[in-house]
């Protein structure tokens, strides 16, 4: 085949097309990469990103720059990433709030499935149904019996309207067929303080916050809201084990990119994230903050986000809940 013949040119073009994705993935990144965190510094999503940062710095050969943009249940950060250039230099670290926001907010300036591309799920954070120590109930069945005997006499707290604690409480009420009064707070800390003082009776609270208070006798855990027990509270049965399937309210961290980000870049970021999440030292540190590694493919994350959006959207619309 002659070097300047049409056939040679066609073969060369085909080779370039075939090798371009791999070449792009290996040549990227050429400058620092931004992780925009949907919440303020110090929370579990921010902590996880900073825990993974050194591993990704080394693997990618460029620094990871972390930028916190809290507000509106993660919508401020999500909108910023949705409008960023799809060049592989901006990623979103999001929470479980992301798939719920379409139903919670009257208007969003981005579309989760049109404007953002899934990269990977990273971690779960188990939730406990925590109770005031003076509550005369030690498991879910006893709580349900108490709530049915005294309708509206029990109250449950949350970090605010539309938060996971609020929605988990409404989900529990629907599945268990009970009534409890919702008491929203401006943050999880004051809600937990009132729970320990007995001013509210129950609350869906992260296991990482519940476990220390259970151990020092300031709270008791009635259940883990999910399918699997929590390592920090191994003796506490799940809602499923206690006969209440469906009372599952996972907190989780995931990563997304602007829609249109080249697939080879997403594939490589996914691979590097999964490698970092499987590192023994990272897993040991994650256990300390109550995080369970749950690495996924982009496709698995997309499917999960749709499921969560449909599940919570139905509840939010039925209960006419609107974020404040």
Residue 144 Cα to chain centre, angstroms: 28
Torsion angle of C-alpha atoms 203, 207, 209, 213, degrees rounded to 10: 80
Confidence of residue 24 (pLDDT cuts 50, 70, 90): low
| pLDDT surpasses 60 at 5 | no
Here the CATH number for the domain that contains residue 45 is: 3.40.190.150
As a 3-state breakdown, the chain gives helix, strand, coil percent values, each rounded to 5, of 45, 20, 35
Provide the strand spans (E) within the chain: 33-37, 64-68, 90-95, 116-125, 127-132, 155-158, 181-184, 202-206, 219-224, 251-258, 292-293
Give per-residue pLDDT as tens, 184-216: 999 889 999 999 999 999 999 999 999 999 999
Confidence of residue 11 (pLDDT cuts 50, 70, 90): very low
Is position 11 within any domain?
Answer: no
Asked if residue 254 and residue 119 are part of one domain, the reply reads yes
| pLDDT surpasses 70 at 297 | yes
Q: What is the pLDDT of residue 65?
A: 98
Confidence of residue 18 (pLDDT cuts 50, 70, 90): very low
Asked if residue 108 and residue 89 are part of one domain, the reply reads yes
Residue among 249, 204, 186 nearest 195 (CA): 204
Asked if residue 35 and residue 112 are part of one domain, the reply reads yes
DSSP 3-state of 211 = helix
Asked if residue 113 and residue 261 are part of one domain, the reply reads yes
Structure tokens at 223: 């259940």
Here the CATH number for the domain that contains residue 191 is: 3.40.190.10
Is position 1 within any domain?
Answer: no
- Measured CA to CA in angstroms, residue 210 lies from 127, 227, 240, 266 at distances of 9, 18, 19, 36
| Domain edge (last residue) among 207, 224, 241 | 224
Is position 26 within any domain?
Answer: no
How many other C-beta atoms are found inside a 10 Å radius of the C-beta of residue 316?
Answer: 20
Q: What percent of the chain has pLDDT over 90?
A: 84
pTM, two decimal places: 0.89
| Domain edge (last residue) among 185, 206, 224 | 224
Q: What is the pLDDT of residue 250?
A: 80
Name, in order, each residue with C-beta under 8 angstroms of 189's C-beta and a sequence gap of 6 or more: none
- Total domains in the fold of the chain: 2
Asked if residue 168 and residue 120 are part of one domain, the reply reads no
Structure tokens at 83: 């409008």
* DSSP secondary structure letters along 43-78: SHHHHHHHHHHHHHHHHHSSPEEEEE---GGGHHHH
Give per-residue pLDDT as tens, 211-264: 999 999 999 999 999 889 999 999 999 999 999 999 988 899 999 999 999 999
Q: What is the pLDDT of residue 151?
A: 84
| Domain edge (last residue) among 224, 240, 263 | 224
Is position 245 within any domain?
Answer: no
Is position 288 within any domain?
Answer: yes
First to last CA, the chain: 69
Q: What is the pLDDT of residue 132?
A: 98
Confirm if 100 and 309 have CB atoms less than 8 A apart.
yes
Is position 23 within any domain?
Answer: no
Asked if residue 161 and residue 102 are part of one domain, the reply reads no
Asked if residue 212 and residue 263 are part of one domain, the reply reads no
Distance CA 52, CA 33 (A): 13
Give per-residue pLDDT as tens, 130-168: 999 999 999 999 999 999 999 889 999 999 999 999 999
Asked if residue 161 and residue 206 are part of one domain, the reply reads yes
Is position 289 within any domain?
Answer: yes
Structural domain that includes position 311: 31-125+250-319
Confidence of residue 282 (pLDDT cuts 50, 70, 90): very high
How many other C-beta atoms are found inside a 10 Å radius of the C-beta of residue 11?
Answer: 12
Region label for 94, one of left (φ > 0), alpha (ψ between -120 and 50) or beta (otherwise): beta
Asked if residue 116 and residue 54 are part of one domain, the reply reads yes
Is position 176 within any domain?
Answer: yes
Asked if residue 195 and residue 50 are part of one domain, the reply reads no
Give per-residue pLDDT as tens, 60-84: 999 999 999 999 999 999 999 999 9
Q: What percent of the chain has pLDDT over 70?
A: 92
Confirm if 191 and 161 have CB atoms less than 8 A apart.
no
Asked if residue 191 and residue 259 are part of one domain, the reply reads no
Residue among 226, 186, 184, 217 nearest 203 (CA): 184
Mean pLDDT of 94-122: 96
Cis amide leading into 29 (omega within 30): yes
Confidence of residue 22 (pLDDT cuts 50, 70, 90): low
Give per-residue pLDDT as tens, 37-52: 999 898 899 999 999 9
Asked if residue 100 and residue 43 are part of one domain, the reply reads yes
Confidence of residue 26 (pLDDT cuts 50, 70, 90): confident
Strand order in the sheet with 64-68: 64-68, 33-37, 90-95, 251-258, 116-125, 292-293
Q: What is the pLDDT of residue 16?
A: 47
Mean of the per-residue pLDDT values of the chain: 92
Q: What is the pLDDT of residue 226?
A: 83
Residues in a beta bridge with 183 = 157
């Amino acid at each position: 085949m002659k070097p300047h013949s049409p056939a040679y040119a066609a073969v060369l073009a085909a080779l370039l097309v075939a090798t371009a994705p791999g070449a792009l993935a290996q040549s990227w990144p050429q400058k620092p990469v931004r992780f925009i965190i949907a919440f303020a510094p110090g929370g579990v999503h921010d902590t996880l990103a900073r825990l993974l940062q050194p591993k990704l710095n080394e693997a990618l050969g460029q620094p990871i720059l972390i930028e916190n943009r809290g507000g509106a249940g993660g919508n401020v950060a999500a909108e910023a990433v949705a409008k960023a250039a799809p060049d592989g230099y901006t990623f979103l670290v999001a929470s479980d709030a992301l798939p719920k926001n379409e139903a919670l907010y009257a208007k969003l300036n981005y579309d989760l499935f049109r404007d953002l591309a899934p990269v990977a799920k990273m971690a779960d954070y188990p939730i406990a149904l925590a109770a005031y120590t003076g509550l005369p109930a030690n498991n879910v069945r006893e709580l349900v019996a108490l709530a049915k005997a005294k309708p509206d006499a029990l109250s449950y707290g949350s970090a605010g309207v539309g938060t996971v604690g609020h929605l988990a409480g409404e989900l529990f009420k629907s599945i268990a067929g009970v009534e409890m009064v919702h008491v929203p707070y401006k943050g999880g800390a004051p809600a937990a303080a009132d729970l320990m003082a007995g001013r509210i009776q129950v609350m869906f609270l992260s296991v990482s916050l519940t476990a220390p208070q259970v151990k020092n006798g300031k709270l008791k855990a009635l259940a883990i809201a999910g399918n699997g027990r929590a390592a920090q509270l191994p003796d506490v049965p799940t809602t499923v084990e206690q006969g209440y399937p469906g009372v599952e309210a996972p907190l989780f961290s995931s990563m997304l990119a602007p829609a249109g980000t080249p697939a080879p870049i997403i594939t490589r970021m996914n691979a590097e994230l999964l490698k970092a999440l499987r590192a023994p030292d990272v897993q040991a540190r994650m256990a300390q903050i109550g995080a369970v590694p749950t690495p996924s493919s982009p496709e698995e994350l997309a499917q999960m986000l749709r499921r969560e959006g449909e599940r919570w959207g139905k509840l939010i619309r039925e209960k006419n809940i609107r974020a404040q």
